[in-house]
Amino acid sequence: MTELLGSTWLNYLVAIVLLIISILVFIKVHIYSHWKRRGIIQANASPPWGSIKNFVLGRTSIAEVFAEIYKQGEGHPIIGFYSFLSPALVIREPDYMKRILVRDYDHFSDRGIYSNRKIDPLSYHLFSTDGPHHKEMRYMLSTDTRKPLSLDEIAAQTFLFILGGHETSSAAICFLLYEMALNPDIQARLHEEIDTMDGNINYDNIKEMEYLNMVFNETLRKYPAAPTLIRLCVKDYMLPNGFLIKKGTQVMVPVYGLHWDAKYFPQPDKFDPERFSPKAPTHQIQPFTFLPFGEGPRYCIGKRFGVASVKLGVTSILSKFRIELAENTKIPMKIESKTFITNPYKGLTLKLVARNT
Ligand code: HEM
């Protein structure tokens, strides 16, 4: 009897193992050949994570995962990848980005990410809503129309503004100060500019601080808060190369990959604010290669507020302190792998030295 039970369990076990192997083989051979069959290059994929395994397993940041997919597509305008079992696309050609984000926006008006008005009203905010509701909400928030918002709508937008607005701006301040500690010459020049303002820094005159703007842009070039922009194709769309993006396909614009591509930003690991000099830029920035706030009708609605708060935060710190590396400052900086917003891994330690000492 025991022998019989033992062999039955063994048979079950063998059947389950064979089933799992067959599913994995099916995914690998059939699902993960979707883009090859559609005639385009595709990123490496392994079941069941697809091409984002290293992010799912917490090994690398989402920024690096998409930068790697971007690299694998070198020489091609688009590259296919797999998010678990779903085929999706990474766009590499800046002209295509212009079409997707701006010109042919009506084909890519949605993000297609989770939101549920009924059971999870806080998730129903401007970033995650789509279709006509997004359009209406964006209009209401941008123009101060008199149509009142419901309590749930106010709560959801506030939740997003605090989460998305605070996280992005505070990360930008951290990264900027970190680069100041690494580059004392750049910090000295920024101190000089701040000192010329004689403590009179406010929302209006901060725009005149040219060098601060260059340093700010270079910070977001190296450390874009959103490493990739997301769009969902809502109407079939033919790219100029004749490739048809079918309705329902998720499309990514790999901001981090672009910002670190030596073709667009020579020596990308070098912190060089001169790239953004309005007088003598070290090189011309090609349109749609610098996208820290996104582009088109879904670009960051909090851009002006974000820019002002980062700049005001930085100037109030730098007017009083010099930033230096601390003993335990990690060099090079590692990017946190568990968040979608670019953040320093396990925080950041810097030394603030009062400037009058
Ligand atoms: C340095 C600060 C910030 C950065 C780098 C940043 C970056 C971004 C990026 C890249 C997007 C996606 C754009 C796209 O898909 O084309 C976005 C969207 C958004 N951001 Fe920001 N952001 C910042 C600050 C803020 C602040 C302060 C707020 C609100 C107070 C905010 C609210 C939003 C909202 C609501 C969206 C979604 C817009 C829509 O889908 O219509 N952001 N942001």
Ligand 1 pocket: which of 300, 301, 307, 341 to mutate (most atoms within 8 A of CB): 300
Closest ligand 1 atom, residue 229 Cα: 15
More confidently predicted of 147 and 333: 333
Q: What is the pLDDT of residue 1?
A: 58
- What pLDDT, in 10s, does the model give residues 42-89? 999 999 999 999 999 999 999 999 999 999 999 999 999 999 999 999
Provide the mean pLDDT of the chain: 93
Q: What is the pLDDT of residue 130?
A: 93
Question: Using 50, 70 and 90 to split pLDDT, how confident is the model at 4?
Answer: low
Helix, strand or coil for residue 85? coil
- What pLDDT, in 10s, does the model give residues 234-248? 999 999 999 999 999
Percent of the chain exceeding pLDDT 90 equals 76
Whether the predicted pLDDT of 3 surpasses 80: no
Q: Which of 66, 41, 65, 46 is nearest to 54 (CA)?
A: 65
The CA-atom distances, in angstroms, between 245 and each of 31, 100, 187, 219, 348 are: 17, 11, 46, 33, 41
Residue whose Cα lies nearest atom 20 of ligand 1: it is 300
Before 121, cis peptide (omega within 30)? no
Whether the predicted pLDDT of 226 surpasses 70: yes
Question: Using 50, 70 and 90 to split pLDDT, how confident is the model at 147?
Answer: confident
Residue with structure tokens 């610098």?
290
- 303 Cα: distance to centroid of ligand 1 (angstroms): 6
Q: Which of 123, 105, 119, 124 is nearest to 295 (CA)?
A: 105
Whether the predicted pLDDT of 2 surpasses 70: no
Candidate from 6-10, 138-142, 299-303 with smallest mean pLDDT: 6-10
Q: What is the pLDDT of residue 5?
A: 61
The CA-atom distances, in angstroms, between 52 and each of 48, 66, 115, 236, 344 are: 10, 8, 22, 25, 20
The stretch 127-155 carries a mean pLDDT of: 86
- Residue 324 has phi, psi (to 5 degrees) of -130, 160
Tokens representing residue 230 in the block: 């997301």
The neighbouring-strand residues paired with 354 are 321
DSSP, residue by residue, 192-260: HHHHHTTT---TTGGGG-HHHHHHHHHHHHHS-SSSSEEEE--S-EE-TTSPEEPTT-EEEE-HHHHHT
The stretch 88-107 carries a mean pLDDT of: 98
- What pLDDT, in 10s, does the model give residues 102-122? 999 999 999 999 888 889 988
Q: Are 143 and 125 in contact (CB under 8 A)?
A: no
Q: What is the pLDDT of residue 146?
A: 67
Whether the predicted pLDDT of 144 surpasses 90: no
Q: What is the pLDDT of residue 55?
A: 93
DSSP, residue by residue, 290-309: --TT--GGGS-TTHHHHHHH
- What pLDDT, in 10s, does the model give residues 278-294? 988 888 899 999 999 99
Candidate from 76-80, 123-127, 254-258 with smallest mean pLDDT: 123-127
- What pLDDT, in 10s, does the model give residues 166-222? 999 999 999 999 999 999 999 999 999 999 998 888 988 899 999 999 999 999 999
The CA-atom distances, in angstroms, between 302 and each of 95, 99, 217, 308 are: 25, 23, 16, 10
For each of the domains in the chain, give its residue range(s) and CATH number, in order of start.
Answer: 32-354 (1.10.630.10)
Q: What is the pLDDT of residue 356?
A: 77
What lines the ligand 1 site, CB under 6 Å? 126-127, 138, 160-161, 164-165, 168-169, 172, 220, 225-226, 229, 292-295, 298-302, 305-306, 310
Residue with structure tokens 């091609």?
76
Region for residue 92 given its phi and psi (left: phi exceeds 0; alpha: psi -120 to 50; beta: otherwise): alpha
